[in-house]
Structures are given as structure tokens and as C-alpha cells.
Amino acid sequence: MEILKTVELQKIYGAGETEVRALDGVNLSVEKGEFVAVVGTSGSGKSTMLHMIGGLDTPTAGEVLVDGQTLGHMTEEELTIFRRRNIGFVFQQYNLLPMLNVWENIILPVRLDGRHPEQTYVKELIRVLGLEQKLENLPGTLSGGQQQRVAIARALASKPAILLADEPTGNLDSKTSQDVLGLLKATGEMFHQTIVMITHNEEIAQLADRILRIEDGKIVADSKDKGEEEQPW
């Protein structure tokens, strides 16, 4: 089942001699449950693409469809509600609220939507991420790896259609990065969660089921394509 689709997605900044095509006709299809890594150098367009997919920015042209819904057809209010219910975000900065404890941070998006968390699901999520003993802790008392695990739990608490991770291990050391990414992959598999992760780290990208390479705003390689697995990254 296709959960994410982009059609001729473009993002252009400036005009004339100063024109920059951050995205230049990106066509992408992601199936439910896939773990996709998008790799590319700084300025390649990978973060711009993530922002378009997540409804955080508006494309110059083209369309983004998440779970069959076209983001560009929504009002700002509709998009805000849709994003809160259907798109989970994990950023390099953990973005936890320092005055809320771990449990309160995890369930915050669900409560903001006027709903009660699905207790059994959220508790299982917390167990898988190894946070059972930290629920009363404030973020400032946690290590970087623990804070990122809280951010992952928060992103997954509302059972989003897709989870978008932007350099999720950028602030972590190599061992902690591997631990966090291993947990991200495990939760994705356990809960059949679709994940799109942006990274410049080729080693981390290998944990994904599928790797896309983006250069100059275009997807230039996709490991899903026949024979692509044999090509060097």
C-alpha cells in the first residue's frame, strides 16, 4: 500500500541569475512499512524534500500525497491538524519541553489533538525504547541518547502514517547513534511504521530497507531499482 507519493515536486528560490532549484522534479513512492534513507551532501535538497513531505514548507510546483491526501489542497488549519495526526517528526535537536516529564512529552501531541493516548500501545512503545524507568524524569536529567528515544516515542505516540527523521543522530556519538538507530528500526518493524530518514552518514543509511541518493535537487539513485544494489554508494 502506497503511503507517500510526490509528483514532479519542485522548490525554487530566487529568480533569473540567482535562481536556485532546491528540488527539481522529484517523483517518489513509499510503501507502508518501508524504512527509507535519503542521503546526499549538504545543499543537495534532502532536507528541503523532507520539509515538503512533512507539510512544513510549500512547494513551488508539484504535489505531495500522504495516506492518499494531497497536502496542497488543505487550508493552513487543516494541514496543521493533518500533520499532528499523520506525520511524526524526529529532529537532530530533540525539541522536548524542559518543564514536562518524559511521559508528558511523549503524549503531548495526542493531548494537543484533544484525544487520550492509547495506553497499551504507548506503554509497549515505551518498553521497546527502554524508557520505563524514566517516565518521571525531566529532559534535562537524561543523556542525549535517552532524549532522542523520548523524541522517537513522542513521534510515534499518535500512530502517524509516516515518521520523518532529519539527521536524528547528528548530536550523538557513534555508539549511541547505532543504539538509537537500531531502536528506530526495531520500532518501525514491530509497529509496521513507515520511516523516511535524512542523513549524510552512509553507514547509518545502510540500516534502512531502501536508500535514495539526492543530488542537485534530483533523485539520482534508488536501491529499489533493479540492479541498483550492486552499485557503489
C-alpha span between 225 and 78 (Å, rounded) = 35
pLDDT bin (cut points 50, 70, 90) of residue 230 is very low
Q: Are strands 20-31 and 194-199 parallel, antiparallel or unpaired?
A: unpaired
Give CA–CA dist 35/41, Å, rounded: 20
Q: What's the predicted TM-score (pTM) here?
A: 0.89
Question: Given this model, what pLDDT does residue 59 score?
Answer: 94
Cα–Cα distance, 94 to 148 (Å, whole number): 6
> Exposure pattern of 31-62 as b/e (b: 16+ CB <10 Å)?
eeebbbbbbbeeebbbbbbbbbbbbeeebeeb
The answer on pLDDT for 105 being more than 80 is: yes
Statement: residue 174 has pLDDT above 80: yes
Region 40-55: mean pLDDT is: 92
Helix (H) or strand (E) holding 176: helix 174-190
Q: Supply the DSSP string of 49-110, one letter for each residue.
A: HHHHHTTSS--SEEEEEETTEEGGGS-HHHHHHHHHHHEEEE-SS----TTS-HHHHHHHHH
Residue 66's pLDDT is 96
Q: pLDDT tens, 70-95? A: 999 999 999 999 999 999 999 888 89
Assign 229 a pLDDT band (cuts: 50, 70, 90).
Answer: very low
Could you read off the pLDDT of 120-160 as tens digits, one per residue? 999 999 999 999 999 999 999 999 999 999 999 999 999 99
Rounded mean pLDDT, 165-187: 87
